[in-house]
Structure 1
Amino acid sequence: MSVVVVGSANLDLVYTVERIPRPGETVLATGAASYPGGKGNNQVVAVARSGAEVAFVAAMGTDDASGTLLAVLADAGVRAHVRRVDAPTGTALITVDASAENVIVVNPGANAALVELTAEEREVVAAADVLLLQLEIPLGTVLEAARTAREAGTLVVLNAAPIQPLPQDLLDLVDLLVVNEHEARELAGERGAAGSVDALSEAVRPLAPAAVVTLGGEGALVVAGGATRRLSGHAVDAVDTTGAGDTFCGALVAALDRRGSERLGLESLVAAAEWAGAAAAIAVTRPGAVPAIPTADEVEDFLARR
């Protein structure tokens, strides 16, 4: 059993503030730090720390930031298939306020060069049991990776974030869609306009055979096989929500990878989402994206105490 993540890698520049500035306003930071980040990088580390064998297909520059990111991947036990390109490694400017909310601006940098998968990269995708994708790399690459996975019988999981219009030929290749409630409503258009849980589950049902909708601290919805299950959230003291959704996605996929052929059944998805929800709850109690991601032992201990 194994997972491959095709996606982005960034160095996060994080400023902590009392409140997010309004347009035209300057505020003074109470602290600053840099952390490994990027949706693909966050998710692949979350997969690894949840105990799954995982590979990462990505692009980075040849700068100091790439050295930092590669060291983190090696420490996590990730098999890195990283292109080194003539562009700066991606960066993200993140502002985190006193209530742990954030605003993020991403400069893709080298991530934009991850186009036209090589034969070796396609082999990595085809050899995996599960493929996890996001939308911080060119959409054409996401589509190519999904097609390669489908031809090989690999399960395709798409975290449709940052949100953008998705072509139907990509959605046709997705086995499991993972989105937050705002992304779900935007993808679904008018079907997602209503605010109820029932309306939200009906909004995502036509988009993929199965879906998980994260609801922040309120938990998640699992939609599969014509049924919907609502999962409760965990009450924690949040410090920084950056990367919480990525932690959820990586932990979810790692848990599904352990469940074999039954992984897209409702009960398997519910169990995996419960594991992922615990991982994300731990992550928001710590600063940064990758540094906050818990290990499998930490998740098991958290669930045992709950």
Structure 2
Amino acid sequence: MRPKRPGRREGLKTRDSHKYSTQMARVLCSGSFMCDLIAPDLPRLGEPGDLIYAPKGIDLHPGGHAANVAISLAQLGRKGVAVAGSIGDDILGDFMEAELRKNGLQVYPERLRIPTSKNIVLIIKGEDRRFYAQLAANTMLTPGHVLKALEETRPEILYQGTIGGLRLIDGELDTILSRAREMGCLTMVDVIRPHEEGWRRLHESLPLIDILHCNGYESEALTGEADPAAAAGTLLKKGVRLCLVTLGSEGLVAAWGETRLRLPAFKVEEVDQTGAGDAFCAGVIDAFLQEGIDRNNLDSLTLSKVKPVLLRGSAAGAACVTASGATTAVIPRKVDVLIQEQGEKVWAETLRL
């Protein structure tokens, strides 16, 4: 039996593993923390009673949208990255916190009396991933915890991920985004297929979102528009300033103002798609910081200004899928080589819709 930790309190929360003290950050990533157990390149799904050996092993990685984006930013060389999420007061929670700190991140973990969330990813060779996720501590991040981290870090960019899957944050998203706007933060929101209440409150918060990232399935679910460009246009009309719809091997759609672009994807050998959208978000944030784009000049984006943003985001997402794990391959060497070798071709084949 695991020994009782010192400092436990009655109720859901346990000890504060981070003593808050003002430490400015350029980016605060908020959202889910999960432990990913990934079995890549499996020959087949087992039948009842079968034993299937994993030819490339079974890997344990820190995961969840906030963790993935923050780690990817750190690996791309960004300093001053903070990350907030909820974990259990258990051995996997210890693993998550240690891995995040090992990557040089400012970690704001909310420790709870429920298990750290786990996600089993089975990848059958030649097929899309199968996810078996446990909804536990990752869904219970509280608005107060995020607001406290926001006040302590006072970032230039707030990335709020996992919207649709955070039971307490989803209903208070407008409160968090309003405070971020008051502080002058550029806000980026990333959505997932909704759980429980769904996206009802997200629609109310769209005017507070500077950048919205979603995939094609999510953009259709949000708007009823099957065409990604039409969906992005609808989201702009509802208040989003820049809409980015990623489409996997089919590239992406970017929309702002009256501009609609369709970029093809970078060509890579795919191993594991886990975390590709998170890597894309990290690449976009990295380029925003590099190019000096903030919420004050977002409406005046030019093609020359948005080009490095979209190429770096797309290249980071493409690099991600070349190795097992959500962040393993999101490193400057791989991202920069993709841009150097394919960037101009990708941009030349970009369509203005």
Give the structure-1-normalised TM-score: 0.88
Counterpart CA distance in 2 for 1:239 and 1:30 is 18
- Deviation track 1:84-139 (CA, whole Å, cap 9, x = no partner) reads 221211111222121252122322322233114146324036x1111111224231
Quick check: 1:222–1:266 contact (8 Å CA) kept in 2? no
Equivalent AA in structure 1 for residue 190 of structure 2: N
Quick check: 2:232–2:244 contact (8 Å CA) kept in 1? no
Find the partner of 1:246 among 271, 275, 278: 278
Tell me the equivalent position of 2:112.
85
Deviation of 1:80 (Å): 0.5
Counterpart CA distance in 1 for 2:178 and 2:248 is 31
Tell me the equivalent position of 1:211.
243
Counterpart CA distance in 2 for 1:75 and 1:271 is 29
Counterpart CA distance in 2 for 1:19 and 1:282 is 26
Counterpart CA distance in 1 for 2:102 and 2:92 is 16
Counterpart CA distance in 2 for 1:55 and 1:20 is 39
Matches within 5 A, 1:190-201: 192-193=225-226, 195=227, 198-201=229-232
Tell me the equivalent position of 2:337.
301
Deviation of 1:211 (Å): 0.4
Tell me the equivalent position of 1:157.
188
Q: Does 1:111 align with 2:138?
A: yes
Find the partner of 1:131 among 145, 158, 163: 158
After superposition, the Cα gap between the structure-2 partners of 1:96 and 1:174, relative to the gap in structure 1 and judged at 3 Å, is same
Find the partner of 2:310 among 273, 279, 282: 273
Deviation of 1:28 (Å): 5.3
After superposition, the Cα gap between the structure-2 partners of 1:198 and 1:211, relative to the gap in structure 1 and judged at 3 Å, is closer
Q: Does 1:5 align with 2:32?
A: no
SS at 2:144 equivalent: coil
- Structure 1: 5+ residue stretches without partners: none
* Count of aligned residue pairs for this structure pair: 298
Kindly report the root-mean-square deviation, in angstroms, between the aligned alpha carbons of the 2 structures.
2.4
Counterpart CA distance in 1 for 2:44 and 2:51 is 10
After superposition, the Cα gap between the structure-2 partners of 1:86 and 1:299, relative to the gap in structure 1 and judged at 3 Å, is same
Deviation of 1:30 (Å): 4.0
After superposition, the Cα gap between the structure-2 partners of 1:304 and 1:93, relative to the gap in structure 1 and judged at 3 Å, is same
Matches within 5 A, 1:90-101: 90-99=117-126, 101=128
Which protein is richer in helix relative to its size?
A: 1
Quick check: 2:275–2:326 contact (8 Å CA) kept in 1? yes
Larger RCO, structures 1/2 (Cα 8 Å, 6+ apart): 1
- Structure 2: 5+ residue stretches without partners: 1-24, 343-353
- Deviation track 1:180-208 (CA, whole Å, cap 9, x = no partner) reads 1111111012xx13x4x543443443241
Matches within 5 A, 1:226-245: 226-245=258-277
Q: Does 1:145 align with 2:176?
A: yes
Q: Does 1:18 align with 2:73?
A: no
Counterpart CA distance in 1 for 2:241 and 2:200 is 16
Deviation of 1:270 (Å): 3.6
Counterpart CA distance in 1 for 2:254 and 2:150 is 30
After superposition, the Cα gap between the structure-2 partners of 1:170 and 1:105, relative to the gap in structure 1 and judged at 3 Å, is farther
Tell me the equivalent position of 2:220.
185
Tell me the equivalent position of 2:92.
65
Decide which structure has the larger Cα Rg and report it. Answer: 2
Greater mean deviation of Cα atoms: 217-226 or 294-303: 294-303
Counterpart CA distance in 1 for 2:133 and 2:159 is 20
Counterpart CA distance in 2 for 1:162 and 1:50 is 28
Counterpart CA distance in 1 for 2:188 and 2:322 is 26
Counterpart CA distance in 2 for 1:145 and 1:28 is 47
- Deviation track 1:193-247 (CA, whole Å, cap 9, x = no partner) reads 3x4x543443443241210111101211110111111212111110110111111
Q: Identity rate of aligned residues, in percent?
A: 25
Give the structure-2-normalised TM-score: 0.77
